[in-house]
Amino acid sequence: QVQLQESGPGLVKPSQTLSLTCTVSGGSISSGGSYWSWIRQHPGKGLEWIGYIYYSGSTYYNPSLKSRVTISVDTSKNQFSLKLSSVTAADTAVYYCATRAGSGFFDYWGQGTLVTVSS
């Protein structure tokens, strides 16, 4: 069974870049079939899809965040990463990495990591 674990700073200053990494175990990013995804949840709110990447490097981003988001993959480390630039307090959220099955639902999730944007 695939397991996912997010890692990265829990505190980011406004205007800086948020950087998170998701380490995958129990499966290979290179095996294909899944899209490696980032989803966030503002405190007490619902879920917002950020984007995902296929092992080949193809990326898809939420249009509302597209200008600030970069998702990349490192197949040698079985990891994928999220960078969100020019953050503000509105980017404070729990960030989840997840696998998106080929058809479109999210079948495996990391435990999530809270990122707070504050000076």
Partner 1 sequence: EIVMTQSPATLSVSPGERATLSCRASQSISSNLAWYQQKPGQAPRLLIYGASTRATGIPARFSGSGSGTEFTLTIGSLQSEDFAVYYCQQYNNWPPETFGQGTKVEIK
Site residues, partner 1 (CB under 8 A): 46-49, 51, 60-64, 96, 98, 100-101, 103-107, 109-112
By beta-carbon proximity to partner 1, the closer residue of 18 and 98 is 98
CB of 15 to partner 1, least distance (A): 25
By beta-carbon proximity to partner 1, the closer residue of 3 and 15 is 3
CB of 67 to partner 1, least distance (A): 14
Structure tokens at 20: 């998170």
CB of 46 to partner 1, least distance (A): 5
Q: Which residues contact 96 (CB under 8 A, 6 or more apart)?
A: 6, 38, 39, 40, 41, 109, 110, 112
The answer to whether 2 and 61 have CB atoms below 8 angstroms apart is no
By beta-carbon proximity to partner 1, the closer residue of 16 and 49 is 49
Closest to 20 (Cα-Cα) out of 34, 37, 3, 32: 37
By beta-carbon proximity to partner 1, the closer residue of 18 and 100 is 100
CB of 6 to partner 1, least distance (A): 10
